[in-house]
Structure 1
Amino acid sequence: MLRKVTECQIPLSLALLEYSNTPIAAIGLSPSQMLLLHHLKSKIPTHSDLLKPHSHSEVPARLRARQDSQKYYFDRSSKSLPDLCPGQSV
């Protein structure tokens, strides 16, 4: 993103604004929606309903499901380490 900002002469603040309005694929909500409960107004035309606050009570459940999925795939290839004894070099 920083490379594009410098190449295209776009203000960094606009790039960060669009980044915070971009939804996270697994959750379906953007960081601004999770923090402020609505989209931030940007240069891209947005429907006025998206700028009003909405309750997103399902966000914690979506985050938990995403974390559980990541844990499942990580645990498939992880191994338990042998126990260490006092004085043993590590």
Structure 2
Amino acid sequence: MEEEITLSFDETVNYVKNNVKHYDVLEISYNRVFAPGEVLGIDTGCGELDECLIIKMQLNGETLNQVVDIDLHEIKGDLLEMRHVNEEKTTIIVVDD
């Protein structure tokens, strides 16, 4: 099953915090970058004053397959779309800010 939703950036952050789990597939499109990979962890603990949501991913690809950390707050203005795939369904999130 596939579902497409349009969310603000803050709603997207909340969606990731509440719905994305370890080993789900997350495809993030921002600026001119497409980063598909398996989620290895999500970190929200950046301190009291700093806002962050760091997603650790094992990238899927033949030439680039390393582990990367993507902080959603650092790419806030460039985030276009995310595709979240788990065992139950695929959710396409269009970020509208």
Structure 1 length as normaliser, TM-score?
A: 0.27
Look at both structures and tell me which one has the larger radius of gyration over its CA atoms: 1
Higher helix share: 1
Higher strand share: 2
Higher relative contact order (CA closer than 8 Å, sequence separation 6+): 2
Structure 2 length as normaliser, TM-score?
A: 0.26
